[in-house]
Structure 1
Amino acid sequence: MQLPVWFEIGSFVVLGIILLIDLLLVVKRPHEPSMKEAGLWVGFYVALALLFAVAMFVFAGPEYGGQFVAGWVTEYSLSIDNLFVFIIIMARFSVPRKYQQEVLMVGIIIALILRGIFIALGAVVIEQFSWVFYIFGAFLLWTAWKQAKDSGEDEEEGAENPLIARLRKVLPMSEKFDGNKIRTVVDGKKVFTPMLIVFITIGLTDLLFAVDSIPAIFGLTQSAFIVFTANIFALMGLRQLYFLLGGLMTRLVYLKHALSVILAFIGVKLVLHAMHVNELPFINGGQHIEWAPEIPTYVSLAVIVGTIIIAVVASLMSPQARQAKLDARLEADAKKTMSEAE
């Protein structure tokens, strides 16, 4: 069963309108959202994704509906990992909390445009060359192994992207932010503000994460429409999730391990699929390898969701999480005491 064209076009139109309204709200009223506001927006986008999943089940059947849910959950869980880096970027550039919503929103829109190009190219390559699944699978297995070993120290070093460093040298730029402006006037001359660099950094950083996540979701579905919509829904709620989770991110100590398991599982799934549709002449004489099993979508979904649930529960029960919670409480008490003393 195929999705109707009107459904695909209508979905992109509606999602585009929602993103535009969201962007206008952020630009018109820059502020740091409260926990309640961030929670309501996250709930709204999650509910929207689930409604879309229901529509997929109705109009395209359970197979495509299941592929969307599995893809969305995978992209969302991998996107949560991005928040660690976003927090570092915001701190490194000293972006005022009031304007961090706008930075994230614009960075996400840049990332969606770049991901759209990436997905379109990936879909064409997959359609023409089935052997690319071997490459995707091997890449995801390598990424899973690398992430499992990664302690996170490299991220904290915050080495500047060469492109960003070059932009700083080429473009006339002010030393300080001027509200949420990209350009300002210094000594009678128009110059860019650091806000431009932050926008580009967030967008490019998210695109780098897509190098892992997009091959992963292509391991769950070969529909470019499902891949792109899953990415949209995963990124749409990411801005509010940034403010909602905040300090909780330091307590999810096993999240990276869970993501490694998910990437490794999908890597194996991709290799098995490549073997099943094999066309390489030096492997089994270019014939399909019939004994290679195809992992059903519902099994993929169960493994992905189960892994995330186990990781979150184990993280929140860990000694590191309890210590982080205690540290946060002591910090909050200290701030309250200082505030009362003033």
Structure 2
Amino acid sequence: MNLTPETPLHTGADEELNIDEVNELDDSDVQGLNLESEADTNGSSSIANDGQDLGMKRENSGDEDMGYDQRDDYVPRVNIGSPFSSNVDVARHFNADHVNQRRLSLAQQSKFIAYCDEKLMAIQRKFVQSRGLTEENGYRGLAPLLDDLKAVLDFVWYSVEGMSNTENLLGTDLDAMSANQFSGTKSTNIGQMYYLMQIADTFLEYLTKFDLGTLSAEEQHRTLSKAFKFLMILDKVFARSLEGLIPGNTIMNGTEMVRIAGIAERTRMTLTSFLEEQGVHGYHYEVSKIYEETLERCA
């Protein structure tokens, strides 16, 4: 027996439809439509009740609901006032008069380039050794590698501003700074941005090759604190360079801006994925701050 209702007749062109002549579906026709599956028929009320119960649970459970981000996850976990443990005395690499942010002489520029290349190459060589060649001579973890990168970063920034420890940048408010405070100063730019971006780029490359899961909770937090502080310092460095808040009011050029924006965006995505793969949680605030000031000025 065919329970499918017959298709009603349609009006022709330029004809009016008389709704009084349209037949209603009888009970057998409605049953033949089979609009509800057995699961819908038997479980609809329970599903609705479950949805209401779930909504009540979400409303009442608060921070106990493990399926959602917790408010405490967005509280800063990294103490930016704690020491980075970089003990490099970068001032000894320059003569005394450079403390006043004087531009390097040609001879000093050659030494600067040679020193940066040598140190970055040494870090790369030691990193490669830790990948299985001669592990005893390589990095035993991410933390000592960060110390070495931070030392090079300190050295490069010292040639820009005469600041021997870039951790001091973390206490500065860029919005409160004015380009006028650098008026009358001469530019110290000799292409340091190349090395600053190289440091930022290689950091991201090295980071993802380390396993944080083997560390104790204390060691993991100490290592991640270094990593986030390192990124915060780089954020200040690039943001100030984008604003011209350095000697000579030198502003990052368009090509450099495009490149640093790409590094910043890639770092945000890569670090987020890396922490998920490592099973690391609770650093939502720090992740949200990665290159925040830099990207605001690149927009």
TM-score (norm 1): 0.28
Higher helix share: 1
The structure showing larger relative contact order (alpha-carbon pairs under 8 Å, at least 6 residues apart) is 1
Greater C-alpha radius of gyration: 2
- TM-score normalised over the length of structure 2: 0.31
